[in-house]
Amino acid sequence: MRNAPTILHLDMDAFFASAEQASKPSLRGKAVVVGGLGPRGVVATASYEARVFGVHSAMPMAQARRLAPNAAYLVPRFGFYRAISEQVMGLLRGLSPLVEPLSLDEAFVDLEAGGAAWDGESARLAGVKLRGDIRAVTGLTGSVGLAASKMLAKIASEQAKPDGLVLIEPGTERALLGPMSVRILPGVGPATGDHLRRAGIHTVEEIVEAGEDELVRLLGKAHGHGLYAMAMAYDERPVVAERETKSVSVEDTYDVDIHDRVRVGFEVQRLADRCVRRLRGAGLSGRTIVLKVRRYDFSTLTRSETLRGPTDDPAVVREAAARLLESVDTTGGVRLLGVGVSGLADYTQEDLFAQAAGERVELGEEGDEEAVVEEEVVVAERRWVSGHDVEHAEFGHGWVQGSGLGRVTVRFETPDSLPGRVRTFSVDDPLLAVAEPLPLVRVGCGVSGLRPDLGSHPHHP
């Protein structure tokens, strides 16, 4: 453990929802929910205004609509979020060579490794400057935690939300952790939490009181030792600049079960092509092709085939995925399909004949490999997606509020405009076209004078 709070954890505030609010002036200060809008969709992110009603991430979208019927419900724009994330990660890498991204909106930074901080005061100044830079570059807010370890820095950023900074002074960690729920510790999920609760252990201090031997007896050697160390505020995990990607995969969730075997096969081929595009974009190839099928009854099957050499050839991946599909019964219907490639390498085996004779392996239920997953919620037969950008030849840039019955409703506004007017068009209006998102902050302008309040004061929409 270091003796200065020079590990920083950044967590952008309600990232997807905040980006949508910043992009759409009419939604600022209102409840916004981003996620899959189909009957099986789930919430990806809810704005702080929506959280007042009990809406939270991973909640079924149908439940969210019951809790907050007047919220704005939008389909994610992942390309837009990635572009903002790249801006934020660039700012972090300006602080240190040791930046460990955890997701699009979250990362650890070793400030000491970059000379950006060496004690509590310099760490606080670095955190304050970072938050200001993020606001200036993206128009969004992020919460910062500073501590002497990764675990404590993450806990601090959670305490700082929204739009704040919390620094945990070395030496105060045990007193801070003691009264907290055991669920605050990394690795304590619902199952472990329930197991500890049945043993009468509810807080971190009660873990310490129970002792390491009791934890080992309850949870096993590896988990017990690790959890006891963290309860004692001991965490020596370093900030790792590059987290090794174990697999690249794509998934589609369908509004309506697919029963047609030909359609299932077509979807698998399409997913294989998308997966290869992502693989090539990352400059990678892989030896193991993975097929994921979630059936009508929520049972999830994973099948894989390992080739003799790594590939990034779309034909090889398509053929392997098709072979894997042959072993899966889809008679009752399919609700989700995914294709992935693991066993990654930065070179390609050119011998396609060798690849064709692969070794097939069944993984059974959900695999536990860490995956880079791009999930796309498929909206059948919809041309205009709620929340996505459009351009009208006469009225300019706007976004889709909704569509149906041959009509599409568009609100015309931009990130630096006032809330715009709403107009309705035929879905096949030749003057209306899909558009790229506009930047939240114009280059050279700093933060727009119309920058939204991104959730410090949640209220009814």
How confident is the model over 83-97, as pLDDT tens digits?
999 999 999 999 999
CA distance 250 to 133: 33
CA distance 83 to 441: 12
List of residues 6+ apart from 142 with CB closer than 8 A = 10, 11, 12, 13, 88, 105, 130, 131, 134, 163
Task: Look at residue 22 and tell me whether its pLDDT is greater than 90.
Answer: yes
- Of 170, 108, 103, give the one whose Cα is nearest residue 372: 103
Task: Look at residue 403 and tell me whether its pLDDT is greater than 90.
Answer: no
Task: Look at residue 360 and tell me whether its pLDDT is greater than 60.
Answer: no
pLDDT at residue 363, as a whole number: 39
pLDDT at residue 405, as a whole number: 87
Task: Look at residue 418 and tell me whether its pLDDT is greater than 90.
Answer: yes
CA distance 68 to 49: 10
Task: Look at residue 370 and tell me whether its pLDDT is greater than 80.
Answer: no
pLDDT in tens, 296-310: 887 888 999 998 888
pLDDT in tens, 158-175: 999 999 999 999 999 999
pLDDT at residue 459, as a whole number: 33
Task: Look at residue 431 and tell me whether its pLDDT is greater than 90.
Answer: yes
Which candidate in 20, 49, 100, 106 is catalytic?
106
pLDDT at residue 263, as a whole number: 92
pLDDT at residue 223, as a whole number: 82
Please report which confidence band the pLDDT of residue 218 belongs to, taking 50, 70 and 90 as the band edges: confident
Task: Look at residue 311 and tell me whether its pLDDT is greater than 60.
Answer: yes
Cβ atoms within 10 Å, residue 87? 16
pLDDT in tens, 374-402: 444 444 333 788 899 999 999 999 999 98
Dihedral over alpha carbons 337, 342, 347, 350 (to 10 degrees): -60
Question: What percent of the chain lies above the pLDDT cut of 90?
Answer: 56
Q: What is the mean pLDDT of residues 232-260?
A: 84
Residue 401 has phi, psi (to 5 degrees) of -85, -30
Task: Look at residue 353 and tell me whether its pLDDT is greater than 60.
Answer: no
421: which strand partners? 412
Task: Look at residue 20 and tell me whether its pLDDT is greater than 50.
Answer: yes
Please state, rounded to an integer, the average pLDDT across all residues of the chain.
85
DSSP string, 131-157: HHHHHHHHS--EEEEEESSHHHHHHHH
Do the beta carbons of residue 44 and residue 57 sit within 8 Å? yes
Q: What is the mean pLDDT of residues 49-66?
A: 93
Minimum mean pLDDT range among 77-86, 347-356, 432-441: 347-356
Minimum mean pLDDT range among 10-24, 66-80, 353-367: 353-367
Q: What is the mean pLDDT of residues 314-336?
A: 91
pLDDT at residue 444, as a whole number: 56
Task: Look at residue 270 and tell me whether its pLDDT is greater than 70.
Answer: yes
pLDDT at residue 293, as a whole number: 93
- The residue among 446 and 163 whose pLDDT is bigger is 163
- The residue among 91 and 252 whose pLDDT is bigger is 91
pLDDT at residue 380, as a whole number: 38
Please report which confidence band the pLDDT of residue 243 belongs to, taking 50, 70 and 90 as the band edges: low
390: which strand partners? 398, 434
pLDDT in tens, 104-130: 899 999 999 999 999 999 999 999 999
pLDDT at residue 442, as a whole number: 79
pLDDT at residue 456, as a whole number: 36
Task: Look at residue 406 and tell me whether its pLDDT is greater than 70.
Answer: yes
Give catalytic status of residue 106 as yes or no: yes
pLDDT at residue 245, as a whole number: 65
- The residue among 194 and 350 whose pLDDT is bigger is 194
